[in-house]
Structure formats: structure tokens, C-alpha cells
Amino acid sequence: MSDTAVAHGHDHAHDHDHDHDHDHKPTGFRRWFMSTNHKDIGTLYLIFSLTMLFLGGAMALVIRAELFQPGLQFVDPHFFNQMTTMHALIMVFGAVMPGFVGFANWMVPLMVGAPDMALPRMNNWSFWILPFAFSILLLSFFVPGGAPAAGWTLYAPLTVQGGMSVDMAIVAIHMMGISSIMGAINIIVTTLNMRAPGMTLMKMPMFVWTWLITAFLLIAVMPVFAGAVTMLLTDRHFGTAFFNPAGGGDPVLFQHIFWFFGHPEVYIMILPAFGIISQIIPTFARKPLFGYSSMVFATAAIAFLSFIVWAHHMFTVGMPLQGELFFMYATMLISVPTGVKVFNWVTTMWRGSMTFETPMLYAIGVVFLFTMGGLSGLMLAITPADFQYHDTYFVVAHFHYVLFSGAVMAMMGGTFYWLPKWCGHMYNETLGKWHFWLTTIFFNITFFPQHFLGLAGMPRRYADYPIQFTEFNQWSTVGAFGLGISQLLFVYIIVSTVRGGKKATTEVWDNPEGLEWTVPSPAPFHTFDEPPVVK
Amino acid sequence: MASHSPEHYKTHYYVPDSSVYPFVSSIALFFIALGGASLVNGYAIGPKMMTIGGIGLASLLFIWFRRVIAESPDYNMDVDKSFRMGMAWFIFSEVMFFAAFFGALYYLRNLAVPWLAETELLWPGFEAMWPSSGPLGAQIVTNGVPSATEISEATKYGLIDPLHLPLYNTLILLTSSVTLTISHHALRASNRAQTIIWLAITVALGVWFLALQVTEYIEAYQQLGLTLGTGVYGSTFFMLTGFHGFHVTLGAFILFIVLLRCMKGHFTPERHFVFEAGAWYWHFVDVVWVGLFIFVYIL
Ligand code: HEM
Ligand SMILES: [Cu+2]
């Protein structure tokens, strides 16, 4: 924009026009409900995600409170099951996925040098569908029978028998699917079509690469999930027999379709986190990312493999032996590209002149803790071992190591990393570090004991347990409340940084790489109206 | 942003002004979804909500697309390309939606039914074959063990002859893809009359296809006793052909709008994104049909 203004400097009317554009951000309803601006929509996504994080977190605390002691203290088992189900649905579809889309909205156009997302109105639609979808999901608490209680995996036949809440979950999932698919199309088109001159594919920042591949996964599997819940709906109400053996159907079919979606889904939730980590580490190691192209190919390999491992979630369901073996080996294969990534991150840090600002602490924390989740995943991938671990707290520990200390903590790190660019102020470094350490320590207190619980045989999704599991559960509950309360600090830091604080410079950090660090902080309402040239 | 001169947009990507359409469309979607969930649970408010939402969404999309058409002179080739890519990826998502149902068909036919027959515990005497309604259609047994007559009632059904209506429909759809391509070539050659005629023929073929499909459904329900509830065969048959029919309806509607716009002279040989988008969509439903014809009707 300023370039044009310079070029047309003699033309006063025109000049005025530009200034007008610059200053005149829309306000109120027009700005926040009618936006076509990738930054505002990104902000909306991020706020939505944080809200859902707290809502889902509150449900998790209900679960942990009940499990503090054996026996039933606070809630009845049916409500407990509603909590586990809704907690997971809200965290997966409300907190993690929209959170990453928020990052993509803010950063992808800035990183590739585009004036906005390719399809700005559709972008806003993708966002606004979500609050309505989640309203429906949450309203299901108030229908007869309460919210869905069959687990976030919605397995038939339990969900074929459930009450109206299952239908509400189904239509809500359809809406979330529409939102995700439109969002993903937007991201793909923006990256493939709107890159600044000179920004070749192999020069794109890793975050953009990981999102490009994530978007591909989303478009490939969200419709499959839509198909699965559609079959569920027709089995429930229109007499079809997909999951009903009396009509020749099979409930296991639901599991296959669900996990064909579900496993790529877990990569949808982790690849953008890999992207964020790959942005942060080079900045604070003051070295370019080690093995950039191997990183790109590893991401693509993970995406490809994620389509052929789904049945590792179903080892105990009774598959033919060849199936068990195939899915075991294929699953183990995924650790190879994943290992490549971890290797590259560590090597990037090797002999770097490292400093440990909050984003870097998060990045290192994620590399370390995510890897632990990867290792427990490998244990679960061993079919005969999984016969023992399946549906125990070991699985719960595994997926919280990859999802909380992978996906969610990467988003926290990303927030500290880019917040100065978003709002123009530096956050308070001391508070940031406090937040990191509180989160990390309480996270581990919460979830590490769950490995032992699982190995000792405590099943997941029950409101009660035998007394020998008490001690570990109490650790876990104490940790969970600490973890929950620590997040208030996160909100405090964000709010106070947005309100004021030290002015952030254009570069924010010490000579970071990427186009986002060439625009002022806070990033102006419109950026790159004139595409930058990348050399 | 959108307040620039047309000259500006020759070299700059069009970023639209703020707009209320997406927000209101989301409300409409909310009504449709919640209405749907209420409807299947027998709440009288369901259909009303769906009607409000449906009308709302349809009107909004109408206004929205009209706005896009009005803006389209300001779209440069980059914007055009974004639209194309967007449409291509949307079609990919549709392919995956159908893939879920084809996958279910494969699994049910080749694995679920044979396994059910092997398991003598559940339904002794049930034999694996395809088509299969399963041991008992989809009827859920509420009063103890069903009698032999009940079972034979629930599992009696006839089959659609693939070489009759389905074959005609295959020929109709394949022809329509050809006529559509002719129309497209005419458009490229600036031959408006030919464009319109061939496009009109395409739409007519689409409607004819749908009419035959409806005839087939009526025959299935009334004469053959083949329904959505005829076990896994009925389920896969009607869900696959039903969703396909729905997509043909949508495709024919898109092409019909394109036809009206051709008549108004909206397109140039270079710029006619919607025409191509509609055409891609049409070829896509065509390909799905070929899959259906082979895997659902013939095999
Ligand atoms: C090194 C790579 C990984 C391997 C080998 C692996 C393996 C597995 C296996 C075998 C299971 C099934 C356990 C059971 O139910 O018995 C599982 C469950 C799960 N994994 Fe992973 N995993 C890996 C990475 C991830 C990542 C990156 C995520 C997400 C970010 C993830 C999320 C989950 C979730 C959510 C479940 C539980 C789903 C449920 O039953 O509710 N995993 N994993
Ligand atoms: Cu998996």
C-alpha cells in the first residue's frame, strides 16, 4: 500500500484514498462479524479456540475431581461419560483444530507475502459456522438423556441407540466438517496461488508447508467422517443397516470408517504444531533449520502413511492376522519420518548460539515431551502389547503427551512467538517463563502417572476404580487442577500484552527469518498489497 | 480495499469489503442443522426450523453469488485461478465423501456378510451371498426370536435389472458429458447459439436421468419390495444412488443457472469460470455414476 502511495505521490485524491484505507479499520459489528480480513478472522479463531480450551478444560476437571478417589463422589456415571465424550469433542474440534486455523489465518498470508487469504468471504464463513456448530453440540446437554456419552469416537452400536443428543452431535459434526473443508481449501489455494514472486515452494517457511499438507489431509478425511456419521444417522432413523448385523451390517465397519478419518485427524492436529516448532527453533538457535527439504518430505511421508495405519486403533476388535500385522508394521514405519523431524530439530540446536526465551522453552519442551508420546505410541503399535494396553489409561497418557504437550503447547509457544507481531507489544518474559514451567510441571504430574495406571490395568472411561489405583489418580487430579489454574496466567499474559507493554520492534527477535518480520509490529490491517519480492 | 478503481484490480488481487453474508449464512445453517436434529426426533418445530433455514440459506447464496457476479469485472486472472483451484479441491472432497460409501459397500459385501454367515452363533442358517438383506433386513427384533415367516417377509425383495433403466441412464449421462463438452467448445469459439443449444440439451438430459431414477425408485419400492430397509443391500443401494441423484440435481441446477447466464451473455471465450466449474462438477457426477453402474448394479 505505501508503495503505491509513493508511486502516485503527486495524485492527491488518490493519496487520500489510501490513507483513508489505512486508518479506517471497520469497527464494532462490521469489524468482527463481517470481516474479510485474515488477521481479524485469525484473531477470532484464536479467541474461539482459547474459549473452547477453557470449556473443555472445565469438563476435564470434573472428570479428574470424580477420579480423585475411588467410589462415586460428585457426578453419576452417566454424566461422567458425557464429560469424557464432550471434553474430547470440544478439545479436538473446538480447541486444537480452530486454534491452528487461527495461526494459519494470521501467518500464512504474511509468510507467503499475500494481501489476504485467497477467498476472504468464505474464510469468514468457515469461522462463523463454528460457534453455531458448538452451540448445537452444547445444547445437547439440555435434551432428554443429556449430551452424547458414547466417547468422542462415537462407536456404533452405542450411538445407534443413544438419544437425541447423538443427532445433535451428528449435525454439529457436519457443520464443523463444512467449516474445516472450506478453511482447508482456502489455505491450499492461498499457498498455491498467492505466493509473492520468488517465493518458490521449496522456499516456503515450514509452517506453511505443514499447513499445506494438513489442509490436504483435512479435505481428504473430513468428508469420510461426514459419511460415517451420515450412515449413523440413517441407521438411527431411516432403517438402514450399515452397522446392524440383523441386516448384514457390522458395527466394526463404523470403526474402520471412523479411524480412516481418525488417524489422519491426529496428524491434522500435530503437523501444524511441527510447523510452529520449526519456525521457533531456528530463530533462537540462530541457525537455519537443519535439513529443510528432508523436513518437507518427512511431512509428506507422514501424511501419506497416516492413511494406511488406521486399524492400529482396532487391534483388539478381531481382525484377521494379516490385518493385525500390516497395521502394526505400517504404524511403526511412521516413526521413521517422525524421527527425521526430531533429529532435525535437535541438530538445528546443535552448536547454535541458543537463548531461552519463552517460545524457545516451549519448543524444546514440545520436542522432548512429544517424543515421549511418540515412544509410547510405538509401544501401542506392537499388536500383542496393545492387547494389554488398549482402552487403558496408558492410551490416555499417550495421546495427551502428543496432543497436549505436542499440539497445545506448540500453540502456546507460537502465541508467545508471534504475539508481539500481532499486537505490537512485548509480553512479560518472567511471566512467560513462569507459565511455561507451571504448565510443563503440572502437565507431567497429571499425565505421567497415567502410564503406570494403564500398565497396571486401569481402564479408561469409567467413573470409578479399584482402590489400588488411588495414589496415582490423586497425583493426576492434583496435577490437573494445577494445570488448569496455570492457564489463567496464560490469559492474563495475553490480555495484559494486548493492552500495553514494551513496544515490539519490527523484527521482534534477534534477526529472525521470514517475511512476517519485515512488516511493522503490530502488523498493519492490510499487508503486502504490493507483493514483496523474495530473493 | 474494494474501493479501488477497475484499473487497480488488473494488477491487484481483489480483496472484498466486509460482508454480512457469511455470518447470516451461518445462522441459516444453524437452523437447518438444529431443525434436522429435531425433525428426526419427532419435534414439530423441526420442519419449521429447516424451512426457515433453507429459505434463508438459499436466498443468501443467491444474494452472495449475485454480488460475486457483479464484482467479477474486477477479478483478475489470479482471482479466477483461485476460484478454479477452490472448485477442484471441493470436488476432491466430494470424491472422498463417496469413497466412504463405496468403502462401506466393499466392506459389507466382501467381509461383513461372509463373516456373519461363518458365525453360526448369531444367525444359524444364514448364508453369504450378494445382494444380501442380511438375516433379517434391518428390522430389529423386539419380541424374541422371529418366526420363519417373519424372516422370509423381511428378507424378500426383487432386484433392479441393470440392463434396463440403469443402462439407459448410463447412456444418458455419458451423452450429456459429450454435449456439455461441445457446448464448452462452442463457448470458446464465441458461438453463442451453439453454446446455448448444447448446454440446454445437457440440462435436459440431466433432468431425464433424474426422471428415470425416480421411476426406478418407485418400481423398487412398490413392485420389488426393495427399500432403504432391505438390509445392507438396500442401504448401500439407496444411499449411493440417492446421494448421486442429489448431486446430479445440484449439477443440473448449476448448469441451468449457467445456461441462463449464457443467454444473458455473461461469458467471454476467456472468462467463464462458472461454466467450467459446473462442467467439472458434471463430469464428476458422471464418473461416480459409472462407478455405481459397475459396482452397484452390474457386479
Ligand atoms: C509415533 C507416532 C505414533 C504412534 C506409533 C501412535 C500409535 C497409537 C496407537 C497404536 C494407538 C491406539 C492405542 C489403543 O487404543 O490401544 C494410538 C492412540 C491414539 N493416538 Fe497415537 N500414535 C502416534 C502419534 C500420535 C500423534 C502425533 C497423535 C496426535 C497428535 C496421536 C493421537 C492419538 C490419540 C488421540 C489416540 C487415542 C484415540 C482414542 O482411542 O480415543 N498419536 N496411537
Ligand atoms: Cu492412530
pLDDT score of A20: 41
Q: Whose CA is nearest to atom 2 of ligand 1?
A: A374
Q: Give me the catalytic one of A191, A210, A338, A376.
A: A338
Q: What is the pLDDT of residues B79-120, one digit of tens each?
A: 999 999 999 999 999 999 999 999 999 999 999 999 999 988
Backbone angles phi, psi at A204, to 5 degrees: -65, 145
**Domains in chain B, ordered, with CATH?**
1-75 (1.10.287.70), 76-298 (1.20.120.80)
Q: Which three cell numbers stand for residue A524?
A: 498493519
CA of A377 to the centre of ligand 2 (A): 9
Does B78 contact chain A (CB < 8 Å)?
Answer: yes
Give the pLDDT band of residue B144 (cuts 50, 70, 90): low
Q: What is the pLDDT of residues A317-336, one digit of tens each?
A: 989 999 999 999 999 999 99
How large is the ipTM?
A: 0.95
Ligand 1 atom at shortest distance from the alpha carbon of A407: 30
Does A128 contact chain B (CB < 8 Å)?
Answer: yes
pLDDT score of B3: 62
pLDDT score of A11: 38
User: Which of A402, A405, A411 should be mutated for ligand 1, with most atoms under 8 A from CB?
Assistant: A402
Residue A395 is which amino acid? V
Ligand nearest to the CA of A309: 2
CB contact under 8 Å between A247 and B137, yes or no, is yes
Q: Rounded distance, CA A529 to CA B1, Å?
A: 10
The beta-carbon neighbor of A132 closest among B13, B27, B122 is B27
Backbone angles phi, psi at A478, to 5 degrees: -60, -45
Q: Choose from A20, A34, A116, A182 for mutation: most chain B CBs within 10 A.
A: A34
Q: What is the pLDDT of residues A176-208, one digit of tens each?
A: 999 999 999 999 999 999 999 999 999 999 999
Of the candidates A55, A36, A230, the one whose C-alpha atom is nearest the C-alpha of residue A118 is A36
CA of A399 to the centre of ligand 1 (A): 6
A207 touches A161 (CB < 8 A): no
| CA A145 to centroid of chain Cα atoms | 30
What residues in B contact A171, CB-CB < 8 Å?
33-34, 36-37
Q: What is the pLDDT of residues A294-319, one digit of tens each?
A: 999 999 999 999 999 999 999 999 89
User: Is A341 annotated as catalytic?
Assistant: yes
Give me the residues of chain A with pLDDT under 50, please.
Answer: 1-21, 23
A171 touches B33 (CB < 8 A): yes
Q: Whose CA is nearest to atom 29 of ligand 1?
A: A266
Q: Whose CA is nearest to atom 14 of ligand 1?
A: A390
B138 pLDDT above the threshold of 70: no
Mean pLDDT over each residue of chain B, to the nearest integer: 92
Give the pLDDT band of residue B181 (cuts 50, 70, 90): very high
B159 pLDDT above the threshold of 80: yes
Q: List, in order, residues 6 or more apart from B200 with CB less than 8 Å away.
A: B259
What residues in A contact B116, CB-CB < 8 Å?
245, 248, 250
pLDDT score of A24: 67
The CB of A313 under 6 Å from ligand 1? The reply is: yes
Does A307 contact chain B (CB < 8 Å)?
Answer: no
pLDDT score of A355: 97
The beta-carbon neighbor of A167 closest among B15, B41, B116 is B41
Mean pLDDT over each residue of chain A, to the nearest integer: 94
Does B103 contact chain A (CB < 8 Å)?
Answer: yes
What residues in A contact B133, CB-CB < 8 Å?
247-248
User: Is A496 annotated as catalytic?
Assistant: no
Show the 3-state SS of chain B. CCCCCHHHHHHCCCCCCCCCHHHHHHHHHHHHHHHHHHHHCCCCHHHHHHHHHHHHHHHHHHHHHHHHHHHHHHCCHHHHHHHHHHHHHHHHHHHHHHHHHHHHHHHHHHHHHHHHHHCCCCCCCCCCCCCCCCEEEECCCCCCCCCHHHHHHHCCCCCCCCCCHHHHHHHHHHHHHHHHHHHHHHHHCCCHHHHHHHHHHHHHHHHHHHHHHHHHHHHHHHHHCCCCCCHHHHHHHHHHHHHHHHHHHHHHHHHHHHHHHHHCCCCCCCCCHHHHHHHHHHHHHHHHHHHHHHHHHHC
